[in-house]
Amino acid sequence: MITARAYSTIKAIERCAWNDCFPAELEDWDYYRAVEQAGVADFQWRYLALYEGSTLIAAAAAFTTQYSLDTTVQGIGKRITQRLRHWLPGVLDIRLYALGSPVTEQCHAGTASHITEEQRPALLRQLLTLARNDANEAGIGLLAVKDAPSHDQQWIDVCRESGLQTMPGLPSAILPIAFGSLDAYLGTLGKSTRKDLRRKLRAQGPRIEWRRSIDDVLPEMMRLYEATLARSDLEFERLSAEYFTNILEHLDQRAACVLYWVDEQLVAFNLVLLDEHRLVDKFFAHDLEQTREYNLYFRSWLANVDYCIQHKIPLYECGQAGYASKLRLGCKFEGNTLFFHHRNALFNALLKLVKLFVRPDKSDPAMAAAISET
């Protein structure tokens, strides 16, 4: 007999049981607990669990929020939707129940280690049913799966078979680290990119400091964070200062903050998660004026690649933005799919029309190229 439960806190689920469903994940029970305690504004957390007796056999994270349908739109498309908002305030905002998390790139549906491949699809279907029922109880009509990874074919198939509409999500950039040195990495890039990066490396650079305690620099970090967020077209969540401190505290050696200094001025920081298998770039914030002079983005990129090389970390996971640069820098891309369905048939039909105009690849040629690669 399988019992389905939905919780508002991950503390309701045993840490070891949750992590058994998501082996080797850096964004594990401790990560979700840190995020929950950080109080990210405008999101409410849900944790879906299936039990066989008292044993957790499947789980997924979820959230509810007021969602803007143009969240992933950039460029001219964003300007059009902003005008539409001016004429019809609130027309693009809708309450959303989504499997996944606003602070993870992909929605993983996990099953316990003793569950076989043949058993898994039935449990995934039950997780979707649990999500739909939980959304109904909250009075939310729009159900989504935020960025199901293309390499999880069972999860993709179950979402499609359940009648959810699809559209491309933001692809995840990865760089396999198979280089013996930074110079060997540069040798794999195109001639103009290689020449440009070597020129940047010869110029004076900022001082780099790896930290796991940031209390003394947190106000300056948040200034850089707010400035970076204000320049972004792809704003979904707004992180609190507690997010950065909690991640470093709860994940201990599996998280670090890389600080970039010019004299005594903090000009950039990079929050990363890491273990022996991967380094995950969670957030990079920088001073735009200093970036122009010191090439901070590329400095940070090369610092992370070099760290992976020096510590024999085989994979650099580098986020869902800046696709034009990442194509030049030799990244590969993993596809993600957004699934959604509104229980109201009229709204669902309307969303089918809306998605033709708010697809993320419509306004960014580099993103379209990355999606095409996947």
Q: What is the mean pLDDT of the chain?
A: 89
Domain boundaries, the chain: 2-171+335-373, 173-332
Q: Binning pLDDT at 50, 70 and 90, where does residue 64 land?
A: very high
Q: Band of the pLDDT at 322, cuts 50, 70, 90? A: confident
- At residue 20, the pLDDT reads 98
- How does pLDDT run across 112-123, given as a tens digit for each residue? 999 999 999 999
pLDDT digits 0-9 by tens, 69-90: 655 555 555 555 555 454 444 4
Mean pLDDT of 279-292: 88
Specify the pTM: 0.90
Query: Quick one: pLDDT at residue 39?
Result: 87
173-332: same fold as 2-171+335-373? yes
Does the structural domain 173-332 have CATH classification 3.40.50.150? no
CATH code, 2-171+335-373:
3.40.630.30
Q: ∠ at Cα 216 (257, 322), nearest 5°? A: 35
Closest CA relative to residue 81, chosen from 272, 264, 354 = 354
* 108 phi and psi angles, rounded to 5 deg: -100, 130
Residue that the structure tokens 């806190």 belong to? 9
* Cβ neighbours for 30, distance < 8 A, ≥ 6 positions apart: 15, 250, 251
Residue 229: in which H helix or E strand, if any? helix 218-230
pLDDT tens digits, residue range 8-25? 999 999 999 999 999 989
**Element counts in the chain: helices (H) and strands (E):** 14, 15
Residue range 306-316: mean pLDDT, rounded: 97
SS3 assignment, position 158: helix
